[in-house]
Amino acid sequence: MDKKSGAKKTDLKELPKISDRVSFIYVERAKINRQDSAITVSDYRGIVHIPVAMLGLLMLGPGTDISHRAVELIGDTGTSLVWVGERGVRYYAHGRSLAHSTRFLEKQAKLVSNNRSRLGVARKMYQMRFANEDVSQLTMQQLRGREGARIRKVYREESKKHHVEWTKREYDIDDFQAGSPVNQALSAANVALYGLCHSIIVALGMSPGLGFVHTGHDKSFVYDIADLYKAEITIPLAFTLAEKIEEGEDIERLARLGLRDKIVETKLSQRIVQDLQYLMEIPEDDQIYLDYIELWDDKTSNVQHGISYTEV
């Protein structure tokens, strides 16, 4: 019999708790391989060794090559893989969830399967958007009416603020260019937002299809979560771009890049992780936290890490 090479498969009892792991690492334009019980990430700057058992989610961005042996190790240790666009703004595919356990998924399924608890979660979603109103006694019909009025008001205010004509939300999925600039920007930014929400939902082991407000679609829960942030992030971004767009510019690309920056600026990934667990009533001891790194600045707000700030 041939002698097996490499480290032995990790026993489940030997793995660290999810709460003790580094939650998310994003890699782009690099090669990922395996060395014993660690993965190696190499680019033009050198090689970094990462103890994969301490990693919750590995996000693979553009220009990433990963070996079969690295994926084998990642699967053995229960680390989740998600293939994403630049800085995580587009979701393409995913591997296994962050946890070996189905605890988060079971909690989601339990809440969505009972009309009373499902309505309770839906009310919490709307309450997050209506901070100064009590929605605890409203029906789903009343909640939808309030939300529709709120979003129409946001559109009117942004239209007036940026001097961009607005009639209604309209788009043709088969002809992106047929829409007005602001509608094109909204479509592009919303799709990128859906990708971010989708990647985090699957990383936490929840189902993107078990929605509380939306239903009947394989991304119903993705739409539920994305709707929490549109009035704050994608709608203002779309009107800002539509006001400044010049002939020949690619508004779809600008919308994706703009959302990418907003994700960093507002710590949106961290908020989504926290909001999902709040909505699903996950006990504090079982919660997962997203580490977020910035550089301190004594003259302005904190700045993004991972960038060379050498003066030219």
**Does the annotation place 49 within a ligand binding site?**
no
**Does the annotation place 214 within a ligand binding site?**
yes
Q: β-strand 31-35 against 22-27: which pairing, if any?
A: unpaired
**Does the annotation place 227 within a ligand binding site?**
yes
Q: Which two tokens stand for residue 67?
A: 């070996």
240-248, long-range: CB < 8 A, 24+ apart: 240/162, 241/181, 241/182, 241/185, 242/162, 242/164, 242/180, 242/181, 242/182, 242/185, 243/162, 243/163, 243/164, 245/181
Residues 6+ apart with CB under 8 A from 80: 56, 57, 58, 94, 95, 96, 97, 98, 202, 203
Q: β-strand 91-94 against 46-50: which pairing, if any?
A: unpaired
Other C-beta atoms closer than 10 Å to the C-beta of 91 total: 25
Binding residues: 147, 214, 227
The annotation places the binding site for Mn(2+) at 147, 214, 227
